[in-house]
Amino acid sequence: MTGRVPLFEAEGIVMRFGGVVALRKVSVTQFEGETLGMIGPNGSGKTTFVNVVTGHLAPQEGRVRVAGAEVTGFRPHRMAAAGITRTYQAVRVFRELTVADNIATATVDAPNRMDADEIAATLDWLQLGHRLAVPAGSLTLFEQRRLEILMRLVQRARLIMLDEPVGGLSATEVRAMLQVLGDLRRRTGLFVIEHAMKVIRELADSVVVMLAGEKLMQGTPAEILADKRVVDQYLGRAHA
Amino acid sequence: MTDALRKHGRGLLVFAVAAYALPLLLAGNRYFAFIGGIALLHVVWTAGMSLLYGYAGLMPLMFAGIAGISAYAAVGLMAAGFAFWTALPVAALFAALVGVGLGLPALRLKGFYFTLCSLVIQTVITLAFVYFVNLTNGDTGISQIAPPAWFGGPLQGVGFDLVLATLAVGAMVALVLIVEAPFGRRLVAVREDDELAEMLGIDVVRQKLAAFFVGSLFAAVGGAFYAPYVGFVSPRSFDVLLSLNIWLMVAFGGRGTIWGAVVGTVLLAPLPFLLQDYYKVKDVIYGLLIIGVIVLLPGGILGGLGSRAAAGTGTQSPGLRRKEAA
């Protein structure tokens, strides 16, 4: 582990909503060049964790550091400036704006944005070049998912936190998306929340298992799949 | 900046020619010339409303109140012995800062809820105009407001109309520059989905406050000129009906489009004067227009034609309607 540079460190995060504790002392570190997966049943705190790291929620306790700098409680636009960004469980683009305007909006306040050539190359790679003049809301779901990724890439995000990136896609599209994500992780840091174990197995170097707001364990996909607690608590049901 | 002017250059040129021609063509009839001057003044207001409503997606019903604060401040300063041209920037800046303060609820409230809140604010401002008699002379209002000085003489007649034409052209140039600047793109992003905008690095709080400052500045400059042009201000001059009329001009012409506001103003601003003898019918016509716009032309005249070329940044948005309903 030594010598590796942490991309972000979340330390002892506690997040309460009224009397409900959504996260109890959760600590997760993601290193440069590593793809981290997060699994857990509904309500186990996965999305809340992403909300804390990306600045949507300020935790009651704990710290978040990005590349060693303290960013706890930063609002999302400052997290974005620090290179930490996310996608949403339900696809989220500016539906009334064209694809070109969506991209332009993503670069308007991105200090480290790509130049025109790089954007064109990335458009090509995500096969959205022919859709520039189309309102984003008219794209297929799979295209919208790719546009979401594109909008983070043009900002040169250091870490993209993907909340169920294959949700709602057909089996063929899931395969295509897995290829996209496989390439994507060579371009930027990825953190993937996913129910589909297939996705986690293929992408994640290390997996955090959440249960009832706590980090149950962390390990390689093989390790967590071999763990009896994980199989009982989560996979047992999901794979039944 | 020059790109924006090139893109809308022809429109701005046509508008400038029309704005300057209007007072000259109507110079023979002081009453019609006055109506023309009022319409030009309304262009300044609708430009500001266009920014706030058409681009930032907020419907500020206290818009007239801000214009009124500026008007009363300008009149007060003039009564205290200051020249109009000194009173103007002070009053406008003061009212614009008040506008930022009154825009604070927009940081928490969206769409319909913000509109309701702004309605309450407007009501309170109108009550304040009535209540603080020392400053405003209450319901009686302040009459015989002296015209601004202009090269040794009073600014009046065609001269004043031409100054208002300059003001209207300036307002439209400013709107074009703002909307085509990164600031305009940020505002559209905030209008479409503020949470996503924030996630993409846009400081939403700052953009909203900036929008309120700039939009209020338009309201305030218009208000400060209104006082000496009309020569009379009262709480009724700046009540919620004015806010609604200005909003209607933007909505009717085409929100989120540069020229929609002007089209709406040209069609609607003269209406109260032309219908003066039928003042009861006037309110009915306004009511029907509001309903007509909402039901038949949610995108306004320019937006309704689906003319994306005419639609400023090409981001004229039917999405506004949905969001406000939500």
Q: How far is CA A39 from CA A56, A124, A199, A232, B78, in A?
A: 20, 32, 11, 14, 69
Q: Please report the pLDDT score of residue B108 as a whole number.
A: 81
Residue B320 has pLDDT above 50, yes or no: no
Q: Which residues of chain A approach chain B closer than 8 Å at the C-beta?
A: 54, 56, 75-77, 80-81, 85-86, 92-98, 101, 104-106, 108-110, 151, 155
* A152 belongs to a structural domain: yes
How many angstroms separate the CA of residue B107 from the nearest CA in chain A? 14
Asked if the Cβ–Cβ distance from A77 to B199 is below 8 Å, we say yes
pLDDT (tens digit per residue) in B92-139? 999 999 999 988 887 888 888 999 999 999 999 999 999 999 899 988
Q: Please report the pLDDT score of residue A3 as a whole number.
A: 59
Interface test with A, best of B199, B207, B317 (most A CBs within 10 A): B199
Asked if the Cβ–Cβ distance from B199 to A76 is below 8 Å, we say yes
What are the 10-residue block averages of pLDDT along chain A, 240 residues in total? 79 92 94 92 91 94 92 93 93 95 95 93 95 95 96 95 92 94 94 90 93 92 87 60
Q: Please report the pLDDT score of residue B275 as a whole number.
A: 81
pLDDT (tens digit per residue) in A81-91? 999 999 999 99
Q: Please report the pLDDT score of residue A234 as a whole number.
A: 66
Structure tokens at A74: 């930063």
Q: Please report the pLDDT score of residue B321 as a whole number.
A: 39
Cross-strand bridge partners of residue A36: A191, A206
Q: Which of B34-43, B103-112, B276-285, B311-320 has the lowest mean pLDDT?
A: B311-320
How many CB atoms within 10 Å of residue A119? 18
Asked if the Cβ–Cβ distance from A77 to B204 is below 8 Å, we say yes
The Cβ-side half-sphere exposure at B59, using a 13 Å CA radius, reads 25
Q: Which chain B residues are within 8 Å of A86, Cβ to Cβ?
A: 199
How many angstroms separate the CA of residue A219 from the nearest CA in chain B? 30
How many angstroms separate the CA of residue A226 from the nearest CA in chain B? 37
Report residue B310: phi and psi, to 5°. Answer: -80, -10
Which of B192, B198, B200 faces A97 most closely, judged by CB atoms? B192
Helices (H) and strands (E) in chain A — how many of each? 10, 10
DSSP output for A31-67: ETT-EEEEE--TTSSHHHHHHHHTTSS--SEEEEEET
Q: What is the ipTM of this complex?
A: 0.91
Burial of B274 (0-12, 13-18, 19+ CB in 10 A): exposed
Q: Show the CA angle centred on residue B258, arms to residues B185 and B16, nearest 5°.
A: 130
Give me the domain span that covers residue A113: 33-44+74-204+215-238
Nearest chain A residue to B186, by CA: A105
How many CB atoms within 10 Å of residue A20? 9
* A171 belongs to a structural domain: yes
Rounded to an integer, the average pLDDT of B277-282 is: 78
Q: Please report the pLDDT score of residue A237 as a whole number.
A: 55
pLDDT (tens digit per residue) in B164-201? 999 999 999 999 999 999 999 999 999 999 999 999 99
Residues 6 or more apart from A219 whose CB is under 8 A from it? Answer: A206, A207, A227
B1 confidence band (pLDDT: 50, 70, 90): low
Q: How far is CA B288 from CA A132, B61, B78, B282, in A?
A: 40, 19, 40, 10
Q: What is the CATH number of the domain that holds A149?
A: 3.40.50.300
Asked if the Cβ–Cβ distance from A76 to B203 is below 8 Å, we say no
Which of A85, A96, A101 faces B199 most closely, judged by CB atoms? A85
* A12 belongs to a structural domain: no
Residue whose token pair is 């070049």: A129
Nearest chain B residue to A106, by CA: B200
Asked if the Cβ–Cβ distance from A105 to B201 is below 8 Å, we say no
* A228 belongs to a structural domain: yes
Q: Please report the pLDDT score of residue B322 as a whole number.
A: 40
Asked if the Cβ–Cβ distance from B201 to A77 is below 8 Å, we say yes
* A230 belongs to a structural domain: yes
Q: Would residue A170 be called left, alpha or beta, if left means φ above 0 and alpha means ψ between -120 and 50 degrees?
A: beta
Distance CA A30, CA A206 (A): 9
Q: Which chain A residues are within 8 Å of B323, Cβ to Cβ?
A: none
A32, A43 contact by CB (below 8 A) = no
**Strand order, beta sheet including A84-86:** A84-86, A159-163, A189-193, A35-39, A206-211, A214-219
Q: How far is CA B191 from CA B106, B168, B187, B215, B249, in A?
A: 12, 26, 6, 15, 19
User: CB contacts < 8 Å between A and B, how many?
Assistant: 74
Which of B201, B314, B319 faces A95 most closely, judged by CB atoms? B319
Structure tokens at A132: 């520039």
Q: Which residue has the higher pLDDT, B28 or A2?
A: B28
Nearest alpha-carbon partner for B129 in B72, B168, B91, B75? B72
B311 confidence band (pLDDT: 50, 70, 90): very low
Task: Give residue limits of the domains in chain B.
Answer: 2-238
Residue B317 has pLDDT above 50, yes or no: no
How many angstroms separate the CA of residue A86 from the nearest CA in chain B? 8
Q: Please report the pLDDT score of residue B271 as a whole number.
A: 85
Burial of B94 (0-12, 13-18, 19+ CB in 10 A): middle
pLDDT (tens digit per residue) in A114-126? 999 999 999 999 9
Structure tokens at B61: 């019903």
Asked if the Cβ–Cβ distance from B201 to A110 is below 8 Å, we say yes
Q: Is B182 on the interface with A (CB under 8 A)?
A: yes
User: Would strands A35-39 and A84-86 be described as parallel, antiparallel, or unpaired?
Assistant: unpaired
Considering only CA atoms, give the Rg of chain B.
Answer: 19
Residues 6 or more apart from A112 whose CB is under 8 A from it? Answer: A83, A155, A156
Nearest alpha-carbon partner for B11 in B188, B254, B260, B217? B260
Structure tokens at B155: 């600014």
Residue whose token pair is 């020059």: B2
Domain count, chain A: 1
Asked if the Cβ–Cβ distance from A96 to B203 is below 8 Å, we say no
Q: Please report the pLDDT score of residue B288 as a whole number.
A: 86
* A210 belongs to a structural domain: no
B13 confidence band (pLDDT: 50, 70, 90): very high
Which of B186, B200, B205 faces A151 most closely, judged by CB atoms? B200
DSSP output for A86-122: E--SS----TTSBHHHHHHHHHHT-TT---HHHHHHH
Residue whose token pair is 């038949």: B296
